[in-house]
Every structure is written in structure tokens, then in C-alpha cells.
Amino acid sequence: MNQTVRSVRGMNDVLPAEAEFWDVFEDVIRSWAKAYGYRPIRLPIVEPTPLFKRAIGEVTDIVEKEMYSFEDSLNGEKLTLRPEGTAGCARAVIQHHLASQRPQRLYYMGPMFRHERPQKGRYRQFNQIGVESFGFFGPDIDAEQILMGARLWGDLGLSGIELQINSLGQPEERVRYRVELVDYFEKHADSLDEEAKRRLHTNPLRILDSKNPAMREVISNSPRLIDGLSVESMAHFEGVQKILRDAGIPYTVDPRLVRGLDYYNLTVFEWVTDRLGAQGTVCAGGRYDGLVGQLGGKPLPACGFAMGVERLMALVQESNGVPSSPEIDVYLVYQGGVAEELAPRVAEGLRDRGISVLFNCGGGTFKSQMKKADASGALYAVIIGDDEARESEAMLKPLRDEGKYPQKRIAIDSIADEIMKSFLDEDDFNGCL
Ligand code: ATP
Ligand code: MG
């Protein structure tokens, strides 16, 4: 017997009940981004592999072991399914000279791909919402992006997401720190795992980002980058914190917070919850003033963050339950030769007025069609037989609250008005989040 084909491990279908919820979520995201003047940008899912190697850095989890890379079988070009969005976004800004006239605020959403071990909150195809700015130097934009996070949690009805911030200073300051850190870890080599030992001389900062619980202690006693930062770097960091304090956003400075990607400098931040088990970071970002230059563009300061949509969705469902599906307004039932001609026109006429219609496809008796109407969850059945059709009338039958709105025969032209009138009484019309 043939085996059925299944989806790739770690790459999941989002079925209609949940996909409807994603739609609502994406609407919330669009108006939230607009409220801060961030404009959408849509980027390719496949990019040249060197883009990620240059942007993210060779000695990183992503580039070392998580990328889906392949050669184009037609021309041998090395390509990669994007593991994150910042590199592609920066590439597009450079390629189209987007920030040459004025700074840019951009956002995007879509799937990212990383070859990780699938588990709750960690998938091989997952979705991110990314927010990026290009051309702003000051701490005000860093703080703006942190405030954006805080507002979004409110818009989604989420609480208990905690903010951690740190400053990575500038690359020159990290050179000195790196020596100090290597020295420390060499003295404690016994406490390092294999990966950390391997990174000790290539990318020691990354050791601080280790998820290995056995290394927690050696990491928490390591020297702190923040203790050796320049006056300028500290002033920038203080500038961010002042805006957060004024806005009443609580935060913790975590001196060992580093980001997994090489291109960050100055401010880094993460929003973390303890309600999602091990995969608790829902949003992470920071400043990456070096990236555009590193990709060959004219140096341009930049700042951004990315959110894991699946993790956020899990949190919303855990906090607020699964919202109800948006309702269908009308199920259209019809039978007979005259009715058959009229029915599609009635359906389109209702849709012209913004009413959603499930059209009975596949025929059937009135009784079997009414069964489907009941099962559809529609608010009304519009029923057209030949008798009604000849008079340009239809039966309007409420499928819920029948006591309140009794079934009645009315002119086809007034069905939409009648339905709209009943909606005015209901405040839950298509309400979701
Ligand atoms: P982690 O430490 O959890 O591996 P990361 O540092 O690799 O995260 P980023 O590259 O900063 O993650 O991506 C931003 C956000 O995208 C993360 O905070 C998380 O919410 C989400 N994310 C990252 N990887 C995955 C994944 N494999 N599956 C689901 N969401 C993910
Ligand atoms: Mg990761």
C-alpha cells in the first residue's frame, strides 16, 4: 500500500480554526505598526547564502548548523531559505537606496527556516514579525521599539512579559572585553561544554548565550562587558533607560544578555515570559549599526527586533483562550428552476452589501440543505423556492435567537437591510480578539 505523504518535521500546517486567528492577529499587527509609522516591506524567502554568512557571522548557531542551504540546480548559485529577516531587509535597503533621502521605519512578517530540533515553541518553519529602522542614531529609536513591544502585549491582552536589556557597547570595546572573557573561561575550562570550548577562541561572547544549564554558574560569574563600556556607550544606554523609566516600563538590566547574531552593538533587549517553558523569549532585538556597512552599503545606523509568532500565539491562547471563529452571516438555500437562476444573484447582491454568504453548492432537498445551514454556524438562512423566486421574495430564517427574530418572508431587496438592522442590536458581530 502507498504511504501517505506527510509534512516535513517541524513544518506545520495551520488549519482553518487557527488560521482565522492568525488573520486577526495580523490585522492587529498592521494597525499597531502603522500607529508608529512603520511601513510594510515584503522580502524574498530565498536569498544568496553569502548574505547570511556575512550578516549573521560564520561562527553562529544559525550559520554553523541551522540553515537550509542548497545549490540552484540550474545555475549552481548557492541559496538559503531565510533563517531571519534582518539580513534581507538590510540588503533591500542598500539595493534600493531606501534610506538615502530620509530614515526608514519598516516591518515585515512571514516564515523563517532553521534546522533545529523541533519542540514546543521551536520549529523548522516558524513565523516572525520583524521591525527595523535605518538611519536613526539616538537612543530614542531604541526606546521607541521597546515601547512598541509593551503596547503590543497590551493590545493582545498579554501580561507578565518581562523586559531585559543590556548594552554591548561598540566593537572596539568588545575587543578588550573579549580578551578578559577568554582569560576567564580558560581558567574555568573544566566547566565548559564542547561547544563552548570550540567557540572560546572564535566567538567567546557567544558562550554567554549558551542554553546549557550546567554552564549557568560559570557564566554568571564571568566578567561583565558593561563594566568596561565607554562614556559614550553608557550615555546611549542611559538615554534608552530614561525614556523607559518616563514611560513607566519596568525592565531589568541583564549584564550577560548577548544576542545570538554578530551584528548587534549598543542596546540589546529581550521580552521573556515564564509561561512557555524553555522557549520563553517571545521578542528579541537591538541596535546593529555595523550591518549595512558590513554588507557593502554606506554605513547606516539601524535598530530592530523580531517576534516569534508561534510563541506569541501560544501565549495569547493560554491567556485568553482560543477566540471564536468569525461568523458567516448567511447560508443560502434554494430549490427549483426559477430559484436556481435567482440564487447566485441574491448571494452576490448580499456580498455587495458586506454580508458574508455560504452558497449551497451540490443541490439537495430543502431538508438536507437546512441541515447544512444549521451545521454551518451561519446566523441566517435565506431560503428561496420557486414560489418566492417568482415574487422576488425569499424566506429569512434566523438560525439562532429564533424567539427574538422570527422567520419571515420578505422582498429580496430588503434582506440586506433586515440583516444589518439585527446586527445593530448585537455588539459581538464578528468580534474576535
Ligand atoms: P532562541 O534563543 O530561542 O533560539 P534566537 O536567539 O535564535 O532564539 P532570534 O534569532 O532572536 O532567536 O529570533 C527572534 C525570535 O524568533 C525569538 O525570540 C523567538 O521568539 C523566535 N524564534 C527563533 N527561533 C525559533 C524557532 N525555531 N521556532 C519558533 N520561534 C523561533
Ligand atoms: Mg536559536
**pLDDT digits over 122-176, tens only?**
999 999 999 999 999 999 999 999 999 999 999 999 999 999 999 999 988 888 8
Domain that holds residue 289: 16-170+230-319
Domain assignment of residue 404, yes or no: yes
Residue 424 has which C-alpha cell? 445593530
Looking at residue 1, its pLDDT comes to 63
Looking at residue 277, its pLDDT comes to 84
Domain assignment of residue 185, yes or no: no
Question: Which of 290, 173, 165, 177 is closest to 233 using CA atoms?
Answer: 173
Question: Domain holding 396: CATH number?
Answer: 3.40.50.800
CA dist., res. 285 & res. 304, Å (int): 6
* Last residue of one domain, picked from the residues 319, 340, 359: 319
Q: Are 210 and 198 in contact (CB under 8 A)?
A: no
Query: Alpha-carbon Rg of the chain, whole angstroms?
Result: 28
Q: From atom 24 of ligand 1, which residue's Cα is the shortest distance away?
A: 122
* Ligand nearest to the Cα of 260, by number: 1
Counting atoms of ligand 1 from 1, which one is nearest the CA of 281? 18
Looking at residue 260, its pLDDT comes to 62
Question: Domain holding 114: CATH number?
Answer: 3.30.930.10
* Last residue of one domain, picked from the residues 319, 339, 357: 319
Same domain for 387 and 420:
yes
Please name the residue ranges forming H helices in 49-109: 49-56, 61, 86-95
Same domain for 375 and 297:
no
Q: Are 336 and 386 in contact (CB under 8 A)?
A: yes
What confidence tier does 429 reach under pLDDT thresholds 50, 70, 90?
very low
* Last residue of one domain, picked from the residues 256, 289, 319: 319
Same domain for 395 and 309:
no
Query: Grid coordinates 493560554 are at which residue?
Result: 318
Taking the centre of ligand 2 as the mean of its atom positions, its distance from the CA of residue 320, in whole angstroms, is 27
Average pLDDT in the 44-70 region? 92
Domain assignment of residue 191, yes or no: no
CA dist., res. 189 & res. 126, Å (int): 35
Domain assignment of residue 148, yes or no: yes
Residue 172 has which C-alpha cell? 572596539
Domain assignment of residue 357, yes or no: yes
Taking the centre of ligand 1 as the mean of its atom positions, its distance from the CA of residue 419, in whole angstroms, is 46
Residue 49 burial (C-beta neighbours within 10 Å; 0-12, 13-18, 19+):
middle
Same domain for 40 and 80:
yes
Task: Count each helix (H run) and each strand (E run) in the chain, helices first.
Answer: 15, 16
For 94-103, 217-226, 406-415, which range has the lowest pLDDT when averaged over its residues?
Answer: 217-226
Same domain for 382 and 299:
no
Distance set, CA 189 to CA 154, 193, 194, 200, 216 (Å): 44, 8, 10, 9, 14
Residues having CB closer than 6 A to ligand 1 are: 84, 114, 116, 121-123, 126, 128, 260, 279, 281-284, 306, 308, 310-311
Which strands form 39-40's sheet, in the order they lie side by side? 39-40, 104-113, 125-134, 302-308, 281-287, 265-272, 162-167, 252-253
Looking at residue 261, its pLDDT comes to 66
Residue 38 has which C-alpha cell? 512603520
Same domain for 355 and 262:
no
Residue 427: pLDDT above 60? Answer: no
Same domain for 334 and 255:
no
Average pLDDT in the 285-300 region? 94
Q: Which of 281, 312, 313 to mutate to test the pocket of ligand 1 (most atoms within 8 A of CB)?
A: 281
Taking the centre of ligand 2 as the mean of its atom positions, its distance from the CA of residue 279, in whole angstroms, is 10
Same domain for 93 and 57:
yes
Residue 202: pLDDT above 90? Answer: no
Domain assignment of residue 30, yes or no: yes
Beta bridge partners of 396: 382, 408
HSE (side-chain half, CA atoms, 13 Å) at 280: 13
Same domain for 21 and 118:
yes
Same domain for 299 and 340:
no
Same domain for 283 and 157:
yes
Domain assignment of residue 52, yes or no: yes
Q: How many domains is the chain built from?
A: 2
Residue 406 has which C-alpha cell? 422570527
Residue 337: pLDDT above 60? Answer: yes
Same domain for 408 and 261:
no
Q: What string of DSSP letters covers 306-355?
A: EEEHHHHHHHHHHHH-PPPPPPP-EEEEE-SHHHHHHHHHHHHHHHHTT-
Helix, strand, coil tally for the chain in percent (to 5) = 40, 20, 35
Residue 210: pLDDT above 90? Answer: no
Domain assignment of residue 61, yes or no: yes
